[in-house]
Amino acid sequence: MDPDGVWVMARGDGEFRRAGGRWVHGPDAGAWREFPVPGARDVTRDELHGHRILDPRLDATLDTHYWQLHGDVLHIRLRDAQQFSELSWARTPYRQRHPTLGTLCAFSAEQWERRRLAVIGMRAPELVRTDLRGTLAVAGLDERAAARDARSAAGYRRALVRRGATQFRLSHRTLAEAAGVSRGRHRRLSGPCAAWFGRGHSHRQARERLNQARDARAAAVQEARRRRLSLGQIALCLGVSRSRVQQLARS
């Protein structure tokens, strides 16, 4: 992962994965696991490294940053092939010394052509550490995770109250006391909101986390608007439509 928001599969862990032509958070992403990565864009070898290739005839004073192309043979610096795992295939035994570039690995330019457009990673707003885009994307993902947990807690409470009422023949009073709510409230909300044996507290915690996540997201959106980020940029970071951003900005 680089400061400019690039993540490369060959250098990464299980934090992201590509599935069905899109990027999702992998098993190491914790609460964001399987969530789509907002604003993710494919990155190829050519995008990351193609700019290094220069024809030496065009510049007699090659900087050590660049590679050399001689006809159909491409020379890549050994240090680059060793540093970047997505270039590990370039660590050929055919090497030569260059007074400026150091040790070079030589292979046919056709090999590069076959590999240069392969997707090796992604760019995503949440990976940007230099401005507000990363903060926006993280706030949006945290809100989604909190909303999922709140839905899960509500569903669990529904199942528990049904079980308490049918299997254990618990009264409305008992269920209401276990949920920490009044009998009247339990009767009104027994389907979607009742809890059994203290599960109401966990649901309230989930709702509190959701409200906190929504507040954090709203603050991030307001700050982004204050810094004059466009609706399109904010929508990309949050993974929502522009009209949704307008609603969030007004809320």
Say yes or no: 138 and 38 in one domain. no
Q: Rounded to whole angstroms, how far apart are CA atoms 36 and 214? A: 19
Q: Report the C-alpha gap between 43 and 180 in whole angstroms.
A: 52
Domain count, the chain: 3
Same domain, 151 and 225: yes
Contact at 8 Å (CB) between 109 and 201?
no
Are 176 and 242 in the same domain?
A: yes
pLDDT surpassing 60 at residue 182: no
My answer on whether 97 and 123 are in the same domain is no
Same domain, 17 and 96: no
Q: Is residue 52 part of a domain?
A: no
Residue 110 has pLDDT above 70, yes or no: yes
pLDDT of residue 174: 65
Nearest to 111 by CA among 154, 69, 157: 69
Among 23-27, 64-68, 73-77, the least confident range: 64-68
Q: Is 245 a residue whose pLDDT tops 90?
A: no
SS (H, E, C) 138-149: HHHHHHHHHHHH
Q: Inform me whether the pLDDT recorded for 193 exceeds 90.
A: no
Question: pLDDT, tens digit, for every residue of 16-36?
Answer: 999 888 999 999 999 999 999
Strand partners for 54: 68
Q: Are residues 181 and 228 in the same domain?
A: yes
- Classify residue 166 by burial, with Cβ atoms within 10 Å: 0-12, 13-18, 19+: exposed
Considering the domain boundaries, does residue 234 fall inside one?
yes
Q: Where are the beta strands (DSSP E) in the chain?
A: 4-8, 16-19, 22-25, 41-44, 53-54, 67-70, 73-77, 95-98, 102-108, 119-128
Share of the chain above pLDDT 90, in %: 39
pTM of this structure: 0.75
Which domain range does residue 167 map to? Answer: 132-250
Give the mean model confidence (pLDDT) for residues 153-179. 62
Domain termination residue (choose one: 128, 153, 176): 128
Confidence of residue 69 (pLDDT cuts 50, 70, 90): confident
Q: Find residue 18's DSSP bridge partners.
A: 23
Q: Is 54 among the domain residues?
A: no
Q: Does residue 146 share a domain with residue 201? A: yes
